[in-house]
Amino acid sequence: MKKIFLIFAVLCISLIAFSCNKNELKPLHSAFKKDFLVGAAVEPEQLLGAEGELLSRHFNSITAENVMKQLSLQPKEGKFNFNEADKLVAFAEKHKLKVRGHCLVWHHPSQMADWMFEDENGNPAGRELMLKRLRNHIKTVVERYKGKVYAWDVVNEAIDTSTADQLRHTEFYKLIGPDYIEKAFEYAHEADPDVKLFINEYDTFDPEKNKAYFKLIKSLIDKGIPISGIGLQMHVKMTNPSAAMIEQAINNLSVFGLDLHITELDMSFYDSEFGSFDQPSEQQLVYQAYRYKQIMDIFKKHNDSIKSVTFWGFHDGHTWLTSYPVIRNDWPLIFTADFKPKWVYYALTNPAKLPEYQDLPKKKAAEYEAHKGTPKIDGKIDKIWEKADSAETSIFITPYRGAMAVVRTLWDENRLYILAEVKDRLLSSKASEPYMQDSFEFFIDENNAKAGGYQSDDFQFRINYKNSVTAGGGNAQPEMIESRTVKTAGGYLIEAAFAFQSIKGAPGTEIGYELQINDDAEGDGIRKSVAKWNDQTNESYRNTEGWGILVMKE
């Protein structure tokens, strides 16, 4: 009996010590009490026990990760199920937390019921039926949580920069028209005139995406649509986007005078869409902490606009990034899987406790020496190309290793010349998106600034095997290049010339340079393989930091 009592006493002391240590931690939200709300996205099962205690102590706002989306709330027409969403709202009321509603309209098939888009005969629903259903869903949900949810993400991820109008052509878009966005805001405002209504979008730090987002928001404001705020999701990685890109996105969107909310903040350890490792190093964890602090300091700097920062989760044991884009370990959040504070926590609450900063090891940029020469752009390998050295697109950033190229480059005072011999077993341009087609891309940074986001002298050009040219980033225009393509026995050949925009070619000049091959390997309209020369990420189209270097030689 005495032994049992002794064990019980030790357990009690241990639990008390654990509780004391846990409660000694400064609440995360208190570090930003003068700046903005600090929230976390959660599922109802995370509201219990130690997990719920961690959540309620460190955050003063919560967002439903999934249970307020359409499929969760209305799996069958007219049959609403609020059980799980109600649990979140009740938890928030008990612990005096704010609630952000997420989200009223989203296109993703995983969160949309098929009945929404079909009539009684299984045919595509007409505009009037769609509007009726949209209004009923929004009205029912918003009215239920009137006075309990202070802000809603009304429309989520409506932008697609690859379309002519830069809107995502979802089923809502196709069956209602682009004004489905306006209608959604109007319906939400009717249901609760006092609730704050947000539009929400990912990759808003991408310059092209930011421009398209700006254009949409301005059109809503100009039409008198009741929009209260702008959501910036902010799923970032360890080395990109740059801090400058993030701050520029905030500056661009703050001009409207609307509230800005950082709605889905996390930080993946992977810059590549593929690859994995078992555990992060101490150096990586410390680096992550400093990068989080850098980003949160930017948010604090702009606290006149930014009123809320929500992390997409709060501990590494529950994060969408362990299943997307592939199944792998990841550590993107504030606390460990067993609820202990990471260096990130101390970076945000007591940075004096941080170890000394160490940058991550960086791969030295590959250098290509380009010789002087002026070939004719005719799709033929003229003798002058013999003086050019070769570079290979041998770095695959996809699991499938498909097409690759041997590339030679020359220069003269006015132009850069490129010859790419592409090995590709099956040629396809089936995809409507140019980047999904069999194509060759080259990237040029005329001052080799490696500034992160594109500047005015940074250019991206894409040429498919049929010689269809598209351009992106900075001020790139298809007219800046001349090109010819020829099908070959093993693939295709591309010869191109780029007219320098801000420099003249000269011995010793260095420019940023990158090469890429896209491969629709199965001919089904889906890019299966991407091969690069130097950049080991899939970010070349918006981030210049990973590009190689071209050095001009006589």
pLDDT at 98: 98
Name which CATH class applies to 35-353: alpha beta
pLDDT of residue 17: 39
| CA–centroid distance for 161 within its chain | 14
Return the structure tokens found at 497. Answer: 């010339």
Tokens for 512? 């940023």
Of 65, 182, 264, 421, which is the active-site residue?
Answer: 264
Q: Which phi and psi (to 5°) does residue 298 adopt?
A: -65, -45
Q: Would the pLDDT of 526 be above 70?
A: yes
Residue 360 three-state SS: coil
Query: 320, exposed or middle or buried, with CB in 10 Å at 0-12, 13-18, 19+?
Result: middle
Q: How confident is the model at residue 219 (pLDDT cuts 50, 70, 90)?
A: very high
Task: Please indicate whether residue 12 or residue 442 has the higher confidence score (pLDDT).
Answer: 442
Classify each residue of 335-345 as buried b or exposed e, where b means 16 or more C-beta atoms within 10 Å of its C-beta. beeebebbbbb
- Of 238, 320, 312, 235, whose CA–CA distance to 271 is shortest? 238
Contact 265, 292 (CB under 8 A): no
Cβ(329)–Cβ(258) under 8 Å? no
- Please tell me the predicted confidence (pLDDT) of residue 110: 85
CA 456 to chain centre: 22
* Pairing of β 491-499 and β 415-423: antiparallel
Is there a catalytic annotation at residue 171? no
The pLDDT value given to residue 161: 85
Pairwise CA distance, residues 317 & 313, whole Å:
9
Rounded distance, CA 158 to CA 166, Å? 9
Is 264 annotated as catalytic?
A: yes
pLDDT for res 390: 97
Q: pLDDT band for position 394 (50/70/90)?
A: very high
Average pLDDT over residues 381-404: 95
Confidence (pLDDT) at 13: 36
Q: Which of 65, 157, 441, 514 is catalytic?
A: 157
* Closest among 314, 244, 304 to 36, alpha carbons compared: 304
Which residues, listed in sequence order, are joined to residue 532 by a DSSP beta bridge?
A: 395, 516
pTM above 0.95, yes or no: no
Q: Looking at 115-124, 373-382, 450-459, which range is the least confident one? A: 450-459
For residue range 80-131, list pLDDT tens digits in order: 999 999 999 999 999 999 999 999 999 998 888 999 999 999 999 999 999 9
Nearest 5°: phi and psi at 204? -70, -10
Average pLDDT (279-295) is: 97
Indicate if the pLDDT at residue 381 is higher than 60.
yes
User: 333: exposed, middle or buried (C-beta count within 10 Å: 0-12, 13-18, 19+)?
Assistant: buried
| Structure tokens that stand for 208 in this block | 């092209």
pLDDT tens-place string over residues 238-269: 988 999 999 999 999 999 999 999 999 999 99
Domain with CATH 3.20.20.80 in the chain: 35-353
* pLDDT average, residue stretch 300-310: 98
SS3 410: strand
d(CA 172, CA 48): 37
In contact, 334 and 266? CB cutoff 8 Å: no
Dihedral sign, Cα of residue 117, residue 122, residue 127, residue 130 = negative
At residue 14, does pLDDT exceed 50?
no
Contact between 368 and 389 (Cβ < 8 Å): yes
What CATH architecture does domain 367-552 belong to? Sandwich (2.60)
Write the DSSP assignment of 163-185 as a string of letters: STTSB---HHHHHH-TTHHHHHH
pLDDT value for 519: 97
pLDDT at residue 425 is higher than 50: yes
Q: What is the DSSP string of 481-550?
A: EEEEEEEETTEEEEEEEEE-SS----TT-EEEEEEEEEE-TTSSS---EEEESS--SS-TTT--TT-EEE
Q: How confident is the model at residue 23 (pLDDT cuts 50, 70, 90)?
A: low
pLDDT of residue 490 exceeding 70, the answer is yes
Q: How many CB atoms lie within 10 A of CB 528?
A: 18
Kindly report, as residue ranges, where domains of CATH 2.60.40.1190 are found in the chain: 367-552
Residue type, 527: R
Give 42's pLDDT tier (boundaries 50, 70, 90).
very high
Q: Which residues of 198-223 are buried (b: 16+ CB within 10 A; e: fewer)?
A: bbbbbbbbbbbbbebbbebbeebeee
Reported as a single tens digit per residue, the pLDDT across 168-211 is 999 999 999 999 999 999 999 999 999 999 999 999 998 889 99
φ/ψ (deg, to 5) at 187: -65, -40
CA 371 to chain centre: 38
